[in-house]
Structure 1
Amino acid sequence: MTAEHLARAWDEAADGYEAYYVPRFAPWVSAAVRALPTDLPGGPVFVPCCGTFPELDVLRAHLPGRELVGIDLSAGMAARARRRAAGNPLVRVVEGDASELEPASAAAVVSVFGLQQLPEPDTALRSWAGALRPGGVLSVVYWPHSTELGGPFTVLSDVLRERVPAGDRSWEERLVPALEGAVLERDEPLSFPMVHPDADTFFTAHTRSGPMRPLADARGEDFIAALRAEFRRRAPEGEWRHRPSARHIVARAADRA
């Protein structure tokens, strides 16, 4: 799938993503931001793959007076992010490729659930680490290959794998080696509870306003209808509570001698 098709899918998903996923992902966003120390070097904080920029309010409270720059490939996501940032002269939102940042340009880089969406996540992480100024900090949260046992993410993945081959996830093994010039401070699971009204609501959100929107657009209504039917057959009735586990990587750029 081309970057243009991916961006268009997220354009169409932006409003639904903001309504459904931003509140549910808030604990991970808060944890990622609060992993940044307050004694950062001078310079802006970059938020690649910012989406609708849910990190913004937490960053403003945690690092007051700091320049903040959100970057996202999707015009629809960037437009929503600009509305969230309206009236704040310290905040910029850039529509563009978030996988490459200018070297030594950032006091910090924070990203939540964007890394796994990029074509080459390990290459992107290398660029993000390289963007840190001496003493700068990287805090990245992403969904790994395995997030839970028996929850909606797993059930949907199992149903999908019967119809679409799994992508290459070998990049996960290359993430820590990609942190060139930075010292790994944290590499651990980050888990919080999540609640969905029912299986069908989750499926609709995931395929219309979440990470499966590009696939849904590419495969069409019949494919999604068959996927929904099988997913609902395997899912429990009523409210669905689960506790998915993300991976949280924190690294600090070495100070110059």
Structure 2
Amino acid sequence: MSEREEQLARLARGWDEAVTGYESYYVPRFAPWVRDGVNAVIAAAIPEGPVLVPCCGTFPELDALVAQFPDREIVGIDLSAGMVRRARERAAGHPRVRVVEGDASTLDPRWTGRCAAVVSIFGLQQLPEPDVALRSWTAALRPGGRLSVVFWPSNTESEGPFALLSEVLRARIPAGDQSWEHRLVDSMTAAGAATARDELRTHPMTHPDAATCFHAHTRSGPLRALADARGSLFIDQLRNDFLHRAPAGPWTHHPRARHLVADVADGVRPETL
């Protein structure tokens, strides 16, 4: 198994185990950003064709997409079998909705130039090569199609639980290569799209207390795979450092997500990857 395959396998296992907690804890808190991402597609005069949702997770985008596009094919893709099962439960009763288990970072060539829209919320930053994935997603669009992607950049806030978690984590593990963030617009352009929006979207998020926030992040969130890999001693030490520096009581913060929107002009077909 290659290093990339191992990374994807760890990611899938982590989200398999986190799915129930993610749905109950994070889906309601991420809802404003989901609306931002979906509304950018709803507001556009997109052409005929399917709507593709890579890294769909439990598919919180689905209700709004089905309400706006009841007669379209809507397809969610996710690497995690656990997420796919939950997404299929949400999609039950919608005959034109499918959820596919698979690697959304490189789309099947059959999607190239076919989709009216691609929308993805908080999946891009987890992938091995996000800029390569974004190029693949953009290339799936047909002329007149729209891409709407919301993701967490490397700097989501200067203070708050996400910032503090990053600080205590960086004291033990060096930060990964974040240079891909600077290549995203070029990736969309290379696939034939023009950037319509590149902005930071901020919404308030509240946690009952620091301990609940830490537990959610390491058991039902993006640090689940790391927690499984490093073990309980590592996580206990991380938790102690985090709680020692965290405020008491409810904790409200205002994290920033980056929202990219791009369009393929009518008469222009993205290059085949």
Give the TM-score band, short-chain normalised.
Answer: over 0.9
2:28 aligned with 1:20: no
Kept after mapping to 1: 8 A contact 2:22/2:221: yes
TM-aligned CA deviation for residue 105 of structure 1: 2.0
- C-alpha deviations, 1:207-227, integer Å up to 9, x for none? 000000000000000000000
Deviation by residue 1:75-97 (Cα, 9 ceiling, x = unmatched): 00000000000111010000000
Query: Does structure 2 conserve the Cα–Cα contact (< 8 Å) formed by 1:38 and 1:62?
Result: no
* Cα shift at 1:58: 1.4
After TM superposition, the structure 1 = structure 2 runs for residues 70-219 of structure 1, keeping only pairs within 5 Å, are: 70-101=76-107, 102-179=111-188, 180=190, 181-219=192-230
SS in 1 for 2:67: helix
The Cα RMSD (Å) is 1.0
Residue 252 of structure 1: which of 249, 255, 263 is its match? 263
Structure 1: how far apart are the matches of 2:16 and 2:207? 23
Contact 2:20–2:220 (CA under 8 A) maintained in structure 1: yes
**Over residues 104-152 of structure 1, what are the superposed CA-to-partner deviations in whole Å (9 max), with x where a residue is unaligned?**
1211000000000000000000001111000000000000011112110
Give the distance between the partners of 1:157 and 1:234, measured in 2 at CA.
13
Q: Structure 1 stretch 241-250 or stretch 62-71: which is displaced more?
A: 62-71
Query: Which residue in the other structure is 1:61 paired with?
Result: 67
Deviation of residue 63 (structure 1)?
Answer: 2.6
* Aligned residue identity for 1:47: V
Letter of the 1:251 counterpart: A
Contact 2:7-2:128 at 8 Å conserved across structures: no
Q: Is the 8 A contact 2:44 2:146 kept in 1?
A: no
In 1: Cα distance, 2:13 partner to 2:58 partner: 15
* TM-score of the superposed pair, with normalisation by structure 2: 0.92
Deviating more after overlay: 30-39 vs 11-20: 30-39
Give, as a single letter, the amino acid of the residue that structure 2 aligns with 1:130. A
Distance (Å, rounded) in 1 between the aligned partners of 2:11 and 2:194: 33
**How far 1:62 sits from its partner (Å)?**
2.7
Following TM superposition, by how much is the alpha carbon of 1:48 offset from its aligned partner in structure 2, in angstroms? 0.3
Q: What stretches of structure 2 of length at least 5 have no aligned partner? A: 1-5, 269-273
CA contact (8 A) 2:15 2:80 kept: yes
Residue identity opposite 2:249 in structure 1: G
Looking at structure 1, the residues matched to 178 and 74 of structure 2 have their Cα atoms a distance apart, in angstroms, of: 31
1:222 and 2:233 are equivalent in the alignment? yes
Could you tell me the percent identity over the aligned residues? Answer: 65
The aligned length equals 257
Contact 1:47 1:110 in 2 (8 A): yes
What secondary structure sits across from 2:260 in the alignment? strand
Q: Which runs of 5+ in 1 are unaligned?
A: none
Runs of 4+, deviation exceeding 3 Å: none
1:50 to partner: Cα distance: 0.3
Question: Cα offset for 1:38?
Answer: 4.8
What one-letter code is carried by the residue in structure 1 that aligns with 2:58?
Answer: T
Determine if contact 1:69/1:94 at 8 Å carries over to the other structure: yes
